[in-house]
Amino acid sequence: MKFVVSGYFGFQNIGDEAILTAMIQHLREISHGSEIVVLSHDPVLTKKLHNVHAINRMDIPGLCRELADADLFISGGGSLLQDVTSPRSVPYYLGLATLAKVMKKPVFFYAQGIGPLNLALSKFLVRTVGNSVDAITVRDEPSQGLLKSLGVNRPEIQVVADPAFGLKLVHGMVNGRDLLLAHEIPVQENPLVIVSVRPWPAVPGYMEAVAEACDDLVKTHGAVVVYVPFHRVQDVTICRACIELMQERAHMLDGDFLPQEILSVMEEADFAITMRYHSLVFAVATATPFAALSYDPKVDGLLSIVGETPGLSADRRDVDSFADYVKDAWRRRGDMKTSLTTLAPKLAESAKDAAYLAVETAREKSSP
């Protein structure tokens, strides 16, 4: 069986690479010996990271050649169908899906996060192409609701967990604390706090708020604070700025890491301050207590599944209260860990449902 996969891959984003890693793991587990071809911004990097064939995401002739003998075109996962970061995203991703349909190939939306969609053209394209694809899975109920509100009603829309919830660690991989020690971050027996931050111009002062909260964790609990850039291109500068704002010592784990390596680091953490969506996914998946900042509705959607609320969000911008919010989350970390320990395995199983449905769709459409 051959799958051609389109997504935001090859951009040095740990979250999207975690999605792809998990998708590959799940598809190969269910359909042994499957061939997987990935459209990537950096095909060389994608081949190196994932041991798959990859072509440039703008190579349309190459895509046509790969689609010619493909069993399924997969769009996802992640937040592909949104027009906040760029008005070109929706036409690009749905244009590829339309090409696959023109070539008479089944199209599968894989654990997508839908929206925000502000442009009339985006909404039209999502409704039109959405009603033409063969199967749709989304990673949260708000995405399902948005598709239905736009008039997508032909394939049943199924809600599954983000693929990264089912990401498996590689046997023999270096322990997270050992990885930190190898990069001269002295964890020892101190509480380990992982921090993820990203650009967020809509809320001035959020970096100062994060720095203050981290200072308190160091002074009060002797924590070792480690900033992890989940998207290196965007996050390194913000991580450094937060560290410079702190009075206490903090560290940054910067480098070319596999998603499983960062997951392993999170697994060793005692607490996390999460901003990137997949830093929150990693915290939940490893039952690591956390305090969250929500820069996007997708983060709110995941927090609602977990039963938590953000300390800062588009609706909650009181940066002066963030330190107290973190203190409260720290106090509740025992109860939070218990709750997450129960929830995480269920989300891991749900994450694999999309792969089962994808393989089932490919088999049904290929049957005479």
Question: Per-residue pLDDT tens for 329-368?
Answer: 999 999 999 999 999 999 999 999 999 999 999 999 876 5
For position 366, what pLDDT does the model report? Answer: 73
Contact 125, 159 (CB under 8 A): no
Are residues 294 and 193 part of one domain?
Answer: yes
For position 170, what pLDDT does the model report? Answer: 77
**What CATH number has the domain bearing residue 80?**
3.40.50.11930
Name the residue range of residue 247's domain. Answer: 176-346
Query: What is the mean predicted confidence (pLDDT) over 77-86?
Result: 94
Are residues 203 and 323 part of one domain?
Answer: yes
Number of domains in the chain: 2
Q: pTM for the full model?
A: 0.96
Query: What is the mean predicted confidence (pLDDT) over 48-74?
Result: 97
From the number of C-beta atoms within 10 Å of its C-beta (0-12, 13-18, 19+), residue 256 rates as: exposed
Q: What percent of the chain has pLDDT over 70?
A: 99
Cα end-to-end distance, the chain, whole Å: 15
103-133 per-residue burial string, b: 16 or more CB within 10 A, e: under 16 = eebbbbbbbbbbbebeeeebbebbbebbeeb
Pairing of β 224-227 and β 135-138: unpaired
Are residues 218 and 144 part of one domain?
Answer: no
Are residues 342 and 193 part of one domain?
Answer: yes
CA distances from 306 to 22, 41, 193, 270, 290 (A): 21, 33, 20, 18, 11
pLDDT at 1 over 70: yes
Confirm whether 228 is domain-assigned. Answer: yes
Query: What is the mean predicted confidence (pLDDT) over 286-312?
Result: 96
Are residues 102 and 8 part of one domain?
Answer: yes
Query: What is the mean predicted confidence (pLDDT) over 265-277?
Result: 97
Are residues 105 and 24 part of one domain?
Answer: yes
In whole angstroms, what is the distance from residue 102 CA to residue 53 CA? 23
CA distances from 85 to 81, 95, 147, 207 (A): 10, 18, 19, 21
For position 173, what pLDDT does the model report? Answer: 77
Query: What is the mean predicted confidence (pLDDT) over 162-174?
Result: 87
Query: What is the mean predicted confidence (pLDDT) over 50-60?
Result: 97
For position 169, what pLDDT does the model report? Answer: 86
Confirm whether 153 is domain-assigned. Answer: yes
Are residues 107 and 11 part of one domain?
Answer: yes
Confirm whether 171 is domain-assigned. Answer: no
Confirm whether 54 is domain-assigned. Answer: yes
